[in-house]
Amino acid sequence: MRFLLWLGLVASALGNDTGINSGEYGPAPLGEFKGEESVIRMVEEKIEIHFGKTQSEVACRFVFRSGKAEGDAKQVVGFPDFIDTETDTGTITKLETFINGEKVEAKKQRGWFYTPDYETPRSGLGEPPKELVEQDKITRADFFTVEVVFPQGKDVIIERRYTADNGGNVMQSKTFSYTTFTGAVWKDTIGKAEFSVKLEGWTVNDLAFEDGPQKNRPRAQDGSWCSPNKAEWTVVSPTELKMTWLDFEPAVHKTRRRIHLATWSKPAP
């Protein structure tokens, strides 16, 4: 997501692959039953982020499993690049998609993502329904879409590898965000999420953790600080962090909706 905060902060965020179906019942797989969630579960995800000075390189690996009783399930799967305005081109400068190890071409399509507080989110292509727009909880996005077949009883692995521009502000803070909220449309909980952050040109002490060793308070610096807190991460080295979340539902667990990285702002002269 690219959005404006006070003091001119611009943040970038990308997110979990989401199930897209613009029909009345949101993300239900094509030709499937009515309901809020897909019949397909995200069993596991691994997100590797290389947080650089101006750009970040990210590798995502999602393992899906169909819960359909008989036959294949089909789903339009979209990787979101959130935008601020209709003319925005997003933050992704390069994206590659692989399904079960085979490279495929994803189609870039303009769409929307509905972000309620404690409900399963919805997404679709084209213009969002009027009743959702009126709630002022619509985020516009470009989706990199592929139509995927999920055989019964077999795992399907979808990988996304991309480069994205970092966000930043006039105080020279750099930011990168990755949202898991878009993964809330899949069946039940997300079984396991592993996050790895490698810092390119930074160290862990450059990151604005609220529970970090710096004397300054992140909440006072510019409105942007890292989340979750440092205590949730394992510090592997001065330039590497790791963290694992188990069996979580982003629609309900607000503290499990995103990873946000931010460096310290420089004080105004």
Per-residue model confidence (pLDDT) at position 73? 86
Cα 154 from Cα 170, distance rounded (Å): 49
Q: How many CB atoms lie within 10 A of CB 102?
A: 7
Per-residue model confidence (pLDDT) at position 36? 64
Contact assessment for residue 237 and residue 183, using Cβ atoms and an 8 Å cutoff: no
> How confident is the prediction along the chain (269 residues), in pLDDT tens digits per residue?
222 222 333 445 566 667 665 444 344 444 454 556 788 899 999 999 999 999 999 999 999 999 888 888 888 899 999 887 776 767 888 899 999 999 999 999 998 888 877 777 788 888 888 888 888 888 888 999 998 999 988 999 999 999 999 987 777 789 999 999 888 888 889 999 999 999 999 999 999 998 887 767 777 776 688 999 999 999 999 999 999 999 999 888 889 999 999 998 876 55
Domains in the chain: ranges and CATH = 3-262 (2.60.40.3680)
Q: Which residues contact 134 (CB under 8 A, 6 or more apart)?
A: none
Burial (Cβ within 10 Å: 0-12, 13-18, ≥19) of residue 217: exposed
Chain centre to alpha carbon of residue 20: 15
Per-residue model confidence (pLDDT) at position 10? 40
Contact assessment for residue 20 and residue 143, using Cβ atoms and an 8 Å cutoff: yes
